[in-house]
Amino acid sequence: MFKKFFSEFRIPVRYHLLFWLLYFIFNFFRFATINNDYWYSLKSNLIEFPLNIVITYFTIYYLIPKYILKKKYWQFFLLFVLSLALFYLSRTGLNYILVTENIWPEAQGNQEPFTVIHVVELVIGAIYVIALVSAIKLTYDWVNEKKRNEDLQRVQLETELNFLKSQIQPHFFFNTLNNLYALVIKQSPNAPNVVMKLSEIMQYVLYEVKEPKISLMKSINYLYSYLELEKLRYGERVKSEISIDGNIDEVEIPPLLFLPFLENCFKHGTQHDEDIKVLIDFVVKDNFLYFTVTNNYVKSDGKTPKHGIGIENVKRRLQLLYGSAYRLKTIAKGNEYVVNLKLPLYED
């Protein structure tokens, strides 16, 4: 029982002890200066403080959770009044027996117990202590609950981001293995080279993806590797170019952001024997990264190409990572499809 009771103390016990010690010292000097009797103040507070502690913790850790939080207001009110009555009787009786027969030296004249003014004075004092401690506890609980919710949101965000990143891996390998299968069927001599290039990209997809951020240069290098992989399949049909403007040495970005857009270029630009044009631009300017990829595509019944799981995955990750601070825009112009992505480089 006591173990369960003390487990409810979210505030460390040492802070409880410190609070009551400081409050005792404050009360001791306050009452001692009223009638200039330090000995009486010490004895009186030694009687009153244990009772204050009992009724305060009884109210906060038992009555409120058991009745207020369960909306049993009448039961709480009756038990709270009863506890105040017991507090008054105990406080008055012990003070009379152990300290002084004048049960209220602070007041004018020789006061009698059980008068309205005496009862009100002691009850209000007890309620004041309960309210003060309750306010401290509620503030402490609110701060901790806020921190707990923030930690929970962070964990949920990381979990969803990790899930989204893991989704890209089988999606990417499925597409690449399909390409490799096509080459094997044709008995292409490029099949072994595809396997080698695939192993290089596997390092990126399987290991780099575990990091929250990687260097932009590393991401660009893997885009080069992916383009080389597609060139092994399509040969001279692939016309690609990657341009970089600005200083990218210190730029870091989340992994696997650009690869799905590049995959999309070959998904929608390979239906005929025409050249596959892929132009990629990286621009670093004013604490923003501008990524643009332009590719030709074949219209299907006048509709723009539909995005697969990879693009939708990236969109969701961008929302989780950047909120409203990023911009993603797609434009279909004639037989060209353009993706414009703007990412902030500063920490939010």
pLDDT in tens, 120-166: 888 888 888 889 888 888 888 888 888 877 776 666 666 665 655 55
CATH 3.30.565.10 fits 152-344, yes or no: yes
Across residues 184-211, what is the average pLDDT?
69
Between these two residues, 247 and 112, which has the higher pLDDT value? 247
pLDDT at 303: 55
pLDDT at 188 over 80: no
Q: Inform me whether the pLDDT recorded for 6 exceeds 50.
A: no
The answer, yes or no, to whether residue 238 has pLDDT greater than 80, is: yes
**Residue 308 and residue 297: Cα distance in Å, rounded?**
15
Mean pLDDT of 239-263: 88
In this predicted structure, the answer to whether residue 272 has a pLDDT above a threshold of 90 is no
How confident is the model at residue 150, as a pLDDT?
74
Q: Which residue has the higher pLDDT, 265 or 340?
A: 340
Q: What is the pLDDT of residue 280?
A: 95
**What residues contact residue 321 under an 8 Å CB cut-off, 6+ apart?**
161, 254
Residue type, 309: I
DSSP labels, 219-268: HHHHHHHHHHHHHHHHGGGEEEEEEEES--TT-EE-TTSSHHHHHHHHHH
Residue 264 identity? N
Neighbour tally for 144: CB within 10 Å: 12
**Which residues touch 222 (CB under 8 Å, ≥6 apart)?**
201, 204, 208, 259
Q: Using one digit for the tens of pLDDT, what is the confidence trace for 197-208?
A: 777 677 666 666
pLDDT (0 to 100) of residue 2: 46
Q: What is the pTM of this model?
A: 0.54
Write down the domain spans for the chain: 2-114, 152-344
Maximal C-alpha separation, the chain = 113
